[in-house]
Amino acid sequence: MKRTQTWARENFAHLETLFHNANGYLGVRNAPEEGAAPGVDSVRGAYLNAFYEIRDVRYGEKLYGFPETQQVMVNVPDAQTVTLEAEGERFSLFDDSVGERLQTLDMAAGQTVRSCVWHTARGDLRVEVRRMASFARRELFLMRYCVTSEGYRGAIRLTAVLDADVRNHAAANDPRVAAEPLRCLRVDAVGLEGDTAYALATTLRSNLTLCCRVAQTCDWLPMHVHTATSAETAFTGALQPGERIELTQYACYADSRRTADPAGETLARLAECREMGAERLEAEQAAYLETFWRDARVEIDGDPACQQAMDFNLYELLQSTGTDGYSNVAAKGLSGEGYEGHTFWDSEIYVLPFFLWTRPDAARDMLRYRCETLERARANARSLGFARGALYPWRTIDGDECSAYFPAGTAQYHIDGDIAFAFVQYWDATGDLAFMAECGAEVLVETARFWLELGHMAEDGFRIDCVTGPDEYTCLVNNNFYTNAVAQNNLRGAVRALRSLTEAGLDRTVREATGVTDIEAEAFALAAERMYFPRDERNGISPQDDSFLQKKTLDLRAIPRDHFPLLLHYHPLFLYRHQVCKQADTVLAQLLFPDTADADTVRRSYDFYGRVTTHDSSLSLCVYAMMAARLGLSGQAAELFGDTVALDLNDTHGNTRDGLHTANLGGAYLCMLRGFAGLRLDESGLSLAPMLPAGWRGYAFTLCYRGCRFRCRVDGAGANLTWLTGADARVRLNGRWINLTGGDAGASGS
């Protein structure tokens, strides 16, 4: 489970993203330890999940209710710098004297390895750097910098630097990245404490504090120097042919959102890590990942490239996602500063399902983040003029709205339905009624209330006006098909949760927290039952909204390839007045909610929207791959899946330098489950209707459903389910119920 490639000066920032180290709390981009050479595209950075600064939002014309501030993920003190000198020569990865350049991501060991040979005037040196962000000890970033003489004779100097003089990066002409560099931290102290160096810093406005503390081990004696913003530890010695020297650095981070004393916390954690030693820490990492891959790996038989890409996507989901209640998953995870570290609807619709089916406790913790920010969602609804209910922010870190462009941001009210969908899916997959009683039902009730505030009952049904759906090239419309679908599901979920909790005698918490009445629940049910969906009988498709089919078509074939994505080359009003989609919208609704349209309408809608969709969003290809599989279009599904699973590896969208596309990572996993395996989950249970993609011999995956962990294997002979561990379960396979029982570990059905 390794990915190895060479590197060059071109597109190096792309590789920094692909080979970054993260663990859901801490992320470090894989920048050159010694720094990038002039002219090399490099985005050096380290980040803590949900550790943020506040900045003002600048408007040309600011109107009532616009967010005045937003949160920004902070580039934190840099602990990855190590310089190497040999008899006056300074090492650089990009110098012509460096050869045999290799970079490896070892997904079984949880490490990245960079190696090369440096041809110095006094002989060759092999340089190997191993990096690891510990999954077992989330505060730890471990680096082992090894230099071996392959003919070199002479002095060597290794210098490790802790640099607190950092700032966030920017891209002036790309709305997906901050427009200008931002200094977020005030350095409070840099110093030495025993044989450790530390940097203590506080954000300028959010008043959050962090500490980074480092210590090194090396056979050579250290020399410490520090300034107001950095601390250096130098090791000097000599090497003869065949000899090697290794500098091992332990770096621990802690922040004031999670501990009252970040400095003390790092001191204690660093001592534990040093006592463990690098080899035991690496063994601990490998053991953690052995369990992870046992439960999470998707095996693809017959397509090695897709297998490696799928391994990469799942590993990056693990690296990207926070599960501590303070954090969640940002659009770029912890791999870069794109979208400024904000969490969107991606979290619930695209990423959470991976954890739901492999590590349901982690999925619950992701949902707890939404429980913890519910009060701010209530406040957000009030600021927008809604008397009741809660509206979650379109993009956020701490629960406050960060979207400065309301037509393609705040107006995407479907975020409430997306979150509600995830709560209901979690409940159906786990049966965890206790969590619904604790906070899940409260979220469902408050978001259901919001739909009653937003929509209105008309002669032809319950209508929801002036909204934006997932397609951000079509804004402020009436009755977006997807929005109405998630709203209907949200309303029904609230009614069902109240009924189930009442029957179980567990409804006291939600009723006291919300004051919900039976009359209000009846209003939820009525709005859901009478939800309006636009229809087009003439073409036999589901219109995206009331006006989409009335707009002028846009000939996508006539647009130059270098004008995509359209959002970077055309005014929003140009896009809004045309029949063009940035991403899957109605197709996504019909995928998640099959009962919203009959099979013929779904097929015709898929064909129609496929012709007008640019897939400028990374959230789109995977949806079309899933729907192609559902429709039995095996070859098309396989092709779209191949494009999906390799999107970041191939830098398809040209901006992986700014971070991974975490929604697409999850989308690749969903292609396997909702697409090829035909997975559906609702109140009646779990069902699978697998198909075999063109060119594959088979595939297999493990699911955890209602406490039962079982294996699904699909090949040319059909599908087979095998109980592995846990409770007994009943699963529908190709329309027939299969009993999976722990009485026989080999129990199976096909």
Q: What are the distances in angstroms from CA 699 to CA 108, 266, 307, 715?
A: 20, 44, 10, 7
- Here the tokens at position 434 are 């206790």
Q: Does residue 425 contact residue 419 with C-beta atoms inside 8 Å?
A: no
Tell which residue, 617, 676, 619, 667, has the closest CA to residue 645: 667
CA–CA distance, 93 with 67 (Å, rounded to integer) = 44
Residues forming beta bridges with residue 458, ordered by sequence position: 461
Look at residues 417, 390, 544, 427 and name the one whose alpha carbon lies nearest to residue 486. Answer: 417
The answer to whether 107 and 92 have CB atoms below 8 angstroms apart is no
Structural contact between residues 737 and 730, judged by C-beta atoms closer than 8 angstroms: yes
Write out the two tokens for 143.
Answer: 């680096």
CB burial of residue 610 (10 Å; 0-12, 13-18, 19+) = middle
Give the 3-state secondary structure of 726-738. Answer: ECCEEEEECCEEE
For every residue of 635-684, DSSP letters joined together read HHHHHHHHHHHTTTTTTTTS-GGG---HHHHHHHHHIIIIIIT--EEETT
DSSP 8-state class, residue 477: B
By three-state DSSP, how is residue 722 classified?
strand
- Residue 389's identity, in one-letter code, is G
CA–CA dist 479, 464 (Å, integer):
5
* Strand ranges for 361-482 from DSSP E: 456-458, 461-463
Q: How far is 698 from 328, CA to CA, in rounded Å?
A: 33
**Cβ-based burial of 251 (10 A; exposed 0-12, middle 13-18, buried ≥19):** buried
d(CA 612, CA 551): 12
Q: How distant is the alpha carbon of residue 214 from its chain centre?
A: 28
Instruction: For residue 71, give the nearest of 321, 340, 324 by alpha carbon.
Output: 340
Cα separation of 296 and 393, whole Å? 31
- CA-CA distance, 372 to 394, in Å (whole number)? 16
- Backbone φ, ψ for residue 142 (5° rounding): -110, 135
Using an 8 Å Cβ cutoff, are 256 and 264 in contact? no
Nearest to 652 by CA among 687, 624, 623, 615: 615
Looking at beta carbons, which pairs linking 643-651 to residues 24 or more positions away fall under 8 Å? 644/668, 644/671, 645/306, 645/309, 645/310, 645/313, 645/671, 646/305, 646/306, 646/309, 647/618, 647/621, 648/17, 648/18, 648/312, 648/313, 648/316, 649/18, 649/309, 649/312, 651/11, 651/14
- Point out the residues that are catalytic: 472
> At 101, which amino acid appears?
R
Strand partners, 185: 203
Do 676 and 629 touch, CB atoms closer than 8 A? yes
Task: Give the orientation angle of helix 360-372 with respect to helix 441-454, to 10 degrees.
Answer: 50
Residues 6+ apart with CB under 8 A from 605: 541, 542, 586, 587, 590, 597
